[in-house]
Amino acid sequence: MSPIELNKRQEEILQIVKGNGPITGEQIAERLHLTRATLRPDLAILTMAGFLDARPRVGYFYSGKKPGQDITDTMNNMKVKDFQSIPVVVREDVSVYDAISQMFLDDVGTLFVVDKNSFLTGVLSRKDLLRTSLGSQNLTAIPVHIIMTRMPNITYCVKNESLIQAAHRLINQQIDALPVVEEQPEGFKVIGRLTKTNITRAFLSLSENHEL
Ligand code: ADP
């Protein structure tokens, strides 16, 4: 349910019900020096929007819910693990040429770089690879560890974190993807990939779950 703007009369009704509920439509009308019929549309809107509950023969009472709360709760409960993708990783010693091929083969925009023990050491973005390609160097001779963004400067997330927190990190750092990692004493194992596409998909799932 999307939040709605209340008009002055609706605000007044809300205050009356908050202070005096349960209260009948007649009684609310009396207090406002209006007829029950005049109030009907306002009461209907307040009830539909979830501000008020109505019980037959009892009257109106304040629901205690803030409209729009449902969608906020849903968003806060969305976890990284529910929306993450499979990570694509390359070893530190592969060439820039092979990393570019890998990016095309797996159709991803970000590669994660790992050492021989599969611990995260770096990140490669499209522009990292493009920048290197602009130089007239031999791309098969340059290992990716020379050009990657490396630990400890990697921004990451963990699977049980909220999607909102991860989305903040993507925006604040101005990056396209976060590795989803499992923290181990010797380093980080890469278990997933969280991208702006995943966040967009999550955003869409809200509109599918909640009729607009
Ligand atoms: P692009 O460079 O293709 O626009 P990004 O915006 O994701 O893609 O990357 C911008 C820079 O940030 C690149 O140099 C990349 O290596 C680095 N980067 C990308 N993702 C991360 C991350 N999760 N942590 C740290 N640095 C990152």
Distance 108 CA to ligand 1 centre (A): 13
Side chain identity, residue 57: R
State how far the Cα of 56 lies from the Cα of 60, in Å rounded to an integer: 9
**Per-residue pLDDT for 68 more than 70?**
no
* Phi, psi angles (nearest 5°) of residue 205: -65, -25
pLDDT (tens digit per residue) in 120-129: 999 999 999 9
Distance 128 CA to ligand 1 centre (A): 8
Identify the pLDDT of residue 179: 98
Identify the pLDDT of residue 18: 92
Interacting residues of 107 by C-beta distance below 8 A, sequence separation 6+? none
pLDDT (tens digit per residue) in 72-120: 877 888 999 989 999 999 999 999 999 999 999 999 999 999 999 999 9
Ranges assigned E (strand) in 43-168 = 52-55, 59-62, 89-91, 110-114, 120-125, 149-150
Distance 86 CA to ligand 1 centre (A): 18
Distance 181 CA to ligand 1 centre (A): 16
* Phi, psi angles (nearest 5°) of residue 59: 120, -160
Q: Is 177 in the pocket of ligand 1 (CB under 6 A)?
A: yes
- pLDDT above 70 covers what percent of the chain? 93
Q: Is 147 in the pocket of ligand 1 (CB under 6 A)?
A: no
Nearest CA to ligand 1 atom 13: 125
Q: Give the range among 123-127, 153-157, 204-208 with minimum mean pLDDT.
A: 204-208
Which ligand 1 atom minimizes the distance to the CA of 174? 6
pLDDT (tens digit per residue) in 8-65: 998 999 999 999 989 999 999 999 999 988 898 888 888 877 889 888 888 999 987 6
Contact 210, 99 (CB under 8 A): no
Q: Structural domains in the chain?
A: 8-70 (1.10.10.10), 78-203 (3.10.580.10)
Helix (H, G, I), strand (E, B) or coil at 159: coil
User: Two tokens at 205?
Assistant: 């799932």
Q: Is 176 in the pocket of ligand 1 (CB under 6 A)?
A: yes
Average pLDDT over residues 187-206: 94
Smallest CA-to-CA distance from 189 within 98, 121, 91 is with 121
Q: Is 100 in the pocket of ligand 1 (CB under 6 A)?
A: no
pLDDT (tens digit per residue) in 162-184: 999 999 999 999 999 999 999 99
Q: Is 149 in the pocket of ligand 1 (CB under 6 A)?
A: yes
Identify the pLDDT of residue 66: 64
Q: Could you tell me the pTM of the whole model?
A: 0.72
